[in-house]
Amino acid sequence: MSAPAPSPLAIVDAEPLPRQDEVLTEAALAFVAELHRRFAPRRAELLARRGERRAEIARTSTLDFLPDTAQVREGDWKVAPAPAALNDRRVEITGPTDRKMTINALNSGAKVWLADFEDASAPTWENVVLGQLNLIDAYERRIDFTDARTGKAYALKSADQLATVVMRPRGWHLEERHLRFEGGPASGSLVDFGLYFFHNAQRLIDLGKGPYFYLPKTESHLEARLWNDIFVFAQDYVGIPQGTVRATVLIETITAAYEMEEILFELKDHAAGLNAGRWDYLFSIVKNFRDGGEKFVLPDRNAVTMTAPFMRAYTELLVRTCHKRGAHAIGGMAAFIPSRKDAEANRIAFEKVKADKDREANDGFDGSWVAHPDLVPIAMASFDAVLGEKPNQKDRLREDVSVAPGDLIAIDSLDAKPTYEGLRNAVQVGTRYIEAWLRGLGAVGIFGLMEDAATAEISRSQIWQWINAGVVFENGELATAELTRKIAAEELEAIRTEVGDEAFAAGKWQQAHDLLLQVSLDADYADFLTLPAYDQLVG
């Protein structure tokens, strides 16, 4: 038998960071290099396949369940039983892995913390490396710190009160330019997964938990198969039992919605569940059906609630699929940020959050997401009312649910239209989010909501779609590039007035304005906003 090919050497191309040697060890980089050697070629093939599938959708303006995998959907199989640490997931809090958030999320009272290296984290090298260090420090209980500005001290509660961590690496499309193999950048997914798994797999087992992951932006069961092969290799590499890794897949692309059973099947021994991610899902619908004509035009993003018929089809199918296969079904995000100044706004928002979580719990979801610790008790109460002492409701098979292929893309079943204020809001939110992202912030409070990269994606995609579909707003104005530029200029000036000349000059406002217009108005639609944005990200 021939010897395995040597792994490519890792080259770190970045200014040194404090304590980086604890993360970028020779052994950890050798592991990431081996992941790169074995799996980067298949990653490239699957990214190319995305383009081919998108071209087919442009030609046909439709999607269907896969005929070649009917035997999987019709077969009698289940995913592996959930480990004890992931059996009760009734409330999950999401957020980036900065030091303060790490402590607050673990202490929040939520069952799970989605520790996010993806949409809630701008991928500066500092965020990538120090985020990994913060998780290591948390597991070693050496993360206590005092905020230099406020003097407030932060410390972890006792181990039995801490949330279980489920880490989310970057999506397959993103690269990591600061870590290079064979002259090219590494895959952001493999860097995030590799460093976290190598350092923490055994630590987590010793804590009675394990290396658990959320897999973002998945577009097909073949991409899930790649992740499964990575898990199998990684577990053998560090010498832990197969099946220790568990993955929850975000069904946040329209193509993945047609392959839910196949995705669970590919990850069978490592599958923990599926999650319904709202904004990225809508972004994916616009991206894939952007030239499909009027029937695919989405209204203002805030008009697309989870009770819209095509969104109901998506979530009901997800619950039925998960429970049929013994997996957890996790609901969407409550993004509201409570205000210290407006009790009435809080009351109204809390009522909306409660109604949303009540609906999910009654529909059969086993848990749901919140973005702020103050929302944990509200979501917990909704699920407690349905679950009681049970850890989940996977026994609710939802066999009453029947979803036809066309139901998932029946966008025109929603009785709402794009509005002029919707265009203005997309420009406002897109500009403000991109500006913060370019400064290294991925989770940003905007107009009372915690926004992440999916927000900017749906904002710029809707602008692009409305212009290219020739939408006429209720005030009689036509959606055009000229109108968008006019609104963007007005909003930029309004921001200057709001923040003041000094703060405006110190920020990335003009850059954000220009980038938003680029990805909203270019005839050649960019697959992901974060690709051109990454070229402008400092650090």
Crossing angle of helices 481-499 and 420-438, in 10° steps, is 60
* Cα–Cα distances in angstroms (integers) from residue 21 to residues 121, 261, 360, 479, in the given order: 22, 41, 44, 52
Residue 168 appears among annotated catalytic residues: yes
If one counts every other C-beta atom within 10 angstroms of the C-beta of residue 308, the result is: 20
Active site residue 366: no
Q: Report how far residue 302's alpha carbon sits from residue 446's, in angstroms, rounded to the nearest whole number.
A: 14
Angle between helix 309-324 and helix 343-363 axes, rounded to 10 deg: 50
Distance CA 421, CA 302 (A): 11
E strand spans, 98-237: 112-116, 145-146, 153-154, 164-168, 175-181, 184-187, 212-215
* Residue of 168, 312, 325, 359 marked active site: 168
Q: Angle at CA 232, nearest 5°, toward 229 and 233?
A: 85
Q: Which amino acid is at 165?
A: V
Q: Which residue has the tokens 């979530």?
A: 315
Question: Residue 512: is it exposed, middle or buried by C-beta count within 10 angstroms (0-12/13-18/19+)?
Answer: buried
Structure tokens at 29: 């980089």
Sign of CA dihedral 483, 489, 490, 494: positive
Active site residues: 168, 452
